[in-house]
Structure 1
Amino acid sequence: MGTKRSWEGQPLELHPKDTIMAESEPSAPSIQSMFENFRDELDEHHDRRERIIKKSRDITALSKKIIFALQRVRATNQPLPPKIAQENQLRFNAINELFEAVVPEQLGINGWRYQRQISGGIQEFIEALSFDHYLRTQTLITHAECAARIPSQILVSEEDYLMGLFDLTGEMMRFAVLSLSSGNAAATKSGNTEGESARPTLAPSQGGIVVDLRAIRAGFEAMTVPRRHSMLRDLGKKMEVMQNSVEKVERAAYGILVRGSERPSGWTPDLSGPVEVETH
């Protein structure tokens, strides 16, 4: 037990607790070391975040190239042209390699911590994958089928799936308008009366796109989202764009069916004007 002197010079006894506290007080080098560890952890976090964002952007760029190639297709519910299928398969392979490279960055709790950084790439990939699936089968891809195309360690949330399908409607709209304006509408008799003029009608594949888009719109409009869900941040804009896309296709189809016989050869639907959308 140590001693110390008071201001009068008399010895004072040190309490054992004082000695323990004095010995346990951290020194300046240990505090500096602690903050250096914090710095290293933050640097590692920011570096990992930037690596994931970079890969997400690469996935987005490749997905857009897939979509651009698919817009050259002119038929649904049948195999893609060999050249386009081969080009896109190489891009799908490259996307899979990028997802595999992200896996080590998102192990454990990091899967949630950095989910927002990879979310944009996942949504764009789902848009490309669902468009490819629709052109091949004329059906809508499921959430489970999308998740099966991405490494299991990477979270494919329902939000990312739905946002990818919202964007799909825009690509379906472009595909449908090009198909409707290509002059492939068939002409049939409206009756058996002799001399009755033929009226235009849509080919089955063209009419199917219109029906499918209307069904997708009905499904989205029937969807309910909790008030505090993060999806609400972008839902309003996505819903508006989707509704406008469906309205444009409907307007183009109605223009062919109602007044198609009056259209000159090579006529293209005018979709430049705004579309009023009613939400029920």
Structure 2
Amino acid sequence: MAGDEKTKRGDYGAVKRSKKGGYGSTKQRKEGREHADMNSPVMQAFSIYQKELDSKHDKYERIVKLSRDITIESKRIIFLLHRITGDSNKSEVILEASDKLVNIQVNLLSRIAEELVSEDICCYRNAFTAGLQEYVEAVAFFVYMQRGELVTKQELMKEFMKLRKLKDKNLPGEDKTVPLPKEVKSSENLEGSSSTQETAVIDVSEETKEEESSLALDVPPTEFILGLADFTGELMRLCVNSIGNGDFELPFEVVDFLRQIFDGFQLIGNQSGRELNRKVRVLRQSLRKVENVCYTLQVRGSEIPQHMLLDMIRSTQREGEEGIVNTE
């Protein structure tokens, strides 16, 4: 055959790769598929594999879309919480943020939990890790603004364990009949076969409801820790914004809280992973910025008029950020 020929066929019609590379034209590959026996065991097996892979890919894409929606809604909650300027509007904003968090649980997180039923969560972890971290950040900021405390993983898991229960309460048109007590069902079983059949139907429906009510979404420890690391950035913004609102006591409360979180992160000995190391470094920078704010308020607060404090602090932060970039 000619030396410049790109492809040649073997005894079984398979396209062989030439020395120049490539597997023939699209037309040749299509002809090879047309000559294949689709009823052979090998082709049938690969047809099943194709359907399974397509199903997993479609599910992965659906989870990615839900994760994006969670990220968007969580950011909106964080922006909403930054609108708190004091006790005057705190209760109103907290109530609105609480409703938005419940909306995320009912309409987004519960749908991810449904997609992951009987699935290996590790196969889909990258699909929703960004949204889950953003949600943890929003919940942590919400808890801090509400009670001034750090949210725990156990507290967060309590909300995740009742995802389907919350969703059932908000779905219209669903049967919300109260299950019959066990004593009533046992007395009905003594009356005859017809009542026994009815009781069997009730038992199946109750088992189904129990399975639905137990639907949950696990929060991996890594996602929880990364979400808390992002939460510290919101504390830094809260510290700066409080000065603009005339609150000069909150920055000192925030810096003490940030130091405790930073000390807690230092206890994590195995900080493997580039993402965790990067976020811990950002946490250190946020703590440094808040400490500089407190230093300015404590040392130079009496020298500078209050209406100029915020501008001076922001200019100092910009100079510090430029110094950090130059050193890195």
Calculate the TM-score normalised by the size of structure 2: 0.64
Give distance in 1, aligned partners of 2:102 and 2:144: 19
Shift of 1:73: 1.2
Query: What is aligned with 2:141?
Result: 131
Give distance in 2, aligned partners of 1:239 and 1:52: 28
Query: What is aligned with 2:27?
Result: none
Give distance in 2, aligned partners of 1:27 and 1:263: 82
1:77-92 correspondence runs (5 A): 81-92=90-101
RMSD (Å) for aligned C-alpha atoms: 2.2
Shift of 1:85: 2.7
Query: What is aligned with 2:257?
Result: 212
The code of the aligned residue for 2:61 comes to: E
Query: What is aligned with 2:278?
Result: 237
Give distance in 1, aligned partners of 2:216 and 2:89: 30
Query: What is aligned with 1:198?
Result: none
Tell me if 1:224 matches 2:276.
Answer: no
Tell me if 1:54 matches 2:65.
Answer: yes
Deviation readout 1:118-165 (Å, 9 max, x if unpaired): 221111111000000011111111111112222463220111111011
Contact 1:52–1:117, Cα closer than 8 Å, also in 2: yes
Tell me if 1:274 matches 2:315.
Answer: no
Query: What is aligned with 2:297?
Result: 256
Regions of 4+ moved over 6 Å: none
The code of the aligned residue for 1:85 comes to: I
Query: What is aligned with 1:113?
Result: 123
Shift of 1:117: 1.3
Report the 3-state secondary structure (helix = DSSP H, G, I; strand = E; otherwise coil) of the residue aligned with 2:319. coil
The code of the aligned residue for 1:112 comes to: C
Contact 1:166–1:239, Cα closer than 8 Å, also in 2: yes
The code of the aligned residue for 1:119 comes to: T
Shift of 1:27: 8.8
Contact 1:111–1:154, Cα closer than 8 Å, also in 2: no
Tell me if 1:156 matches 2:193.
Answer: no
Deviation readout 1:22-62 (Å, 9 max, x if unpaired): xxxx9953322222111111110100000011101111110
Give distance in 1, aligned partners of 2:260 and 2:85: 21
Deviation readout 1:94-116 (Å, 9 max, x if unpaired): 21121111122112342232122
Q: Which runs of 5+ in 1 are unaligned?
A: 1-25, 186-202
Larger Rg belongs to: 1
Query: What is aligned with 1:191?
Result: none
Change (3 A) 1:79 1:168: farther
Query: What is aligned with 1:140?
Result: 150
The code of the aligned residue for 2:131 comes to: G
Query: What is aligned with 2:74?
Result: 63
Give distance in 2, aligned partners of 1:214 and 1:121: 26
> Of 60, 65, 83, which aligns to 1:72?
83
Query: What is aligned with 1:34?
Result: 45
Shift of 1:79: 9.9
Count of residues in correspondence between the two structures: 228
The code of the aligned residue for 2:144 comes to: Y
Give distance in 2, aligned partners of 1:170 and 1:223: 19
Change (3 A) 1:27 1:95: closer
Tell me if 1:165 matches 2:165.
Answer: no
The code of the aligned residue for 1:92 comes to: L
Contact 1:180–1:252, Cα closer than 8 Å, also in 2: no
Give distance in 1, aligned partners of 2:93 and 2:38: 67
Report the 3-state secondary structure (helix = DSSP H, G, I; strand = E; otherwise coil) of the residue aligned with 1:168. helix
Give distance in 2, aligned partners of 1:108 and 1:80: 44
Report the 3-state secondary structure (helix = DSSP H, G, I; strand = E; otherwise coil) of the residue aligned with 2:55. helix
Calculate the TM-score normalised by the size of structure 1: 0.75
Give distance in 2, aligned partners of 1:124 and 1:81: 22
The code of the aligned residue for 1:34 comes to: A
